[in-house]
Structures are given as structure tokens and as C-alpha cells.
A = this chain, B = another copy of it.
Amino acid sequence: MTYELHYWPMIQGRGEFVRLALEQAGADYIDVARLPHEAGGGIEAMMDRLEDEPLRPPFAPPFLKDGDLVIGQTAAILLHLGPRIGLVGASEADRIWTHQIQLTVADMVAEAHDTHHPVGVGLTYEDQKPEAARRARDFRETRIPKFFGWFERVLARNPAGPGHLVGGAVSYADTSLFQLVEGLRYAFPNATARALDATPRVAAHATRTGRLPRIAAYLASERRMPFSEDGIFRRYRELDPG
């Protein structure tokens, strides 16, 4: 069974949360839009597929094709994949808790995005720099500490120890928190370093997750695209002034 991931081919973006889960699971998947044009790749083909989906069209990329099933929304994709690729616990309680953590990661991702696009997604960053400066300040000073404090609490209260977010094995919540911390380290290196000083379990969790053999191999491969100022996590010096 080969999973088909459909996402913007030139950025990590939200698709990266799905890529990391598939990589950690060693799952068989194709990153369709990154294929050559002749093989069905490219943005235009992806958007045509989205639009033409006859019954249940996702709102936006990423979307996953699993046989006849087409699933949009990052968190829903991971909810579907989790039990199939062994990245979530077996109990219903573990599954809904893992999903809760994923949805909280998604909330923080959306807020990280809005630091450079507080006014409108159709405008450029240059069109909204004063607003971005204000939003980024609030994000650095209030939101990063609040979210990281919660992740720290979740790790500290895990009866199986702070090595994982849920129980004693890797779940998609772990790979997602790793990506969130990596992205924030890229976009807000100063503010993130300060927040991680106060949340040592979150810092250790990111280090440990990045060293998982399959994650490390993926990060070192050409499949891992670099962070950039076209993605969700963008480094603009003026938004993280030391």
C-alpha cells in the first residue's frame, strides 16, 4: 500500500508534519507534487486534483490519498495514519490524547504563521511589516512561553517518563513537536532559545527525536527541504531582535 502525499513541492510547510510521520514509520509513500511533470508532479496537477475531487474535495493541501480515501487537514491525516503506521497507542484514551496534542501543535503553527502574515494571507510580508512587528512581539513574549510551558507539563506528567509525549513509544505527536521546535528555532532563534532554557524537557525531547535513526536519516537526505522565507517558519531578523 503506497500512500500518496500531495503538498506544495518547494516548502516544508504543513506537509512536513505528515512527511516526518511517514518517514519515522518507514512507510511506503510518494510525495506526488515533487515528481517530474511527466510523472504527474507539479503544483498545477495538484491543484487540478484538489478541484476535481468529485465527492469530498479537501479545502487545501496537504491531502493524502490512501486508496479511494482522500483526506485533507494535517491533523486529520495524522489521525488516519497513526494506527496504520504504528505511530499512536492502541487505546482510545491514548489516541484522543495524541490528537489533542497534535491540534495544539497546529494552533501554535497557525500563530507562528500569522507573525509574518497578521493582516492577510493574500498580501506579502512587506505589505504588513508594522503589524507583523507587533504580532511577533506578542508571540515571542507571551505565546511561545505559554505553549512550551504546556508541552513541558505534558512531558513531565507522562507516567512513562518525559522521553515521549504519550506513553513510552514514539507517536506522531512527538515528530510534530520536533518539527514545531525546529521551525521556531529557525524563525525565532533568540526567543526560542530563551523559552527552551525554561523548558528543559521540551529541549531534550527535540534533541532525542532528531536523533531517531529514521528521522536523522531523513533530515540528512535530499527529501528534507530547507526552511525558507516561503514557508510557515520564516526568519526575519527584525521579528526576533536578540
A residues neighboring B (CB under 8 Å): 54-59, 69, 71-73, 75-76, 79-80, 93, 96-97, 99-100, 103-104, 107, 110, 114, 118-123, 128, 131, 134-135, 137-139, 142, 147, 150, 153-154, 157-159
Majority secondary structure, A binding face: helix
Contact A99 B76 (CB under 8 A): yes
What's the minimum C-beta distance from A176 to chain B, rounded to whole angstroms? 14
Residues of B within 8 A of A100 (CB): 56, 58-59, 71-73, 76
What's the minimum C-beta distance from A76 to chain B, rounded to whole angstroms? 5
Q: A57-B153, A71-B97, A73-B103 are in contact. List 14 more A-B contacts (CB 8 A).
A: A54-B157, A56-B157, A59-B147, A59-B150, A71-B96, A71-B100, A73-B104, A75-B75, A76-B103, A79-B79, A79-B96, A118-B119, A122-B142, A131-B131
Q: How many copies does the complex hold?
A: 2
6 closest A-B pairs by beta carbon, nearest first, are A120-B138, A73-B103, A119-B134, A131-B131, A76-B100, A118-B118
Residues of B within 8 A of A79 (CB): 79, 96, 99
**Given known A-B contacts A76-B99, A100-B73, A104-B73, A134 and B120 have beta carbons under 8 A apart:** yes
What's the minimum C-beta distance from A96 to chain B, rounded to whole angstroms? 6
**Given known A-B contacts A114-B114, A142-B120, A59 and B131 have beta carbons under 8 A apart:** no
Residues of B within 8 A of A56 (CB): 97, 100, 154, 157
Q: Which of B76, B134, B142 contacts A96 (CB 8 A)?
A: B76
Residues of B within 8 A of A154 (CB): 56-57
Contact A128 B134 (CB under 8 A): yes
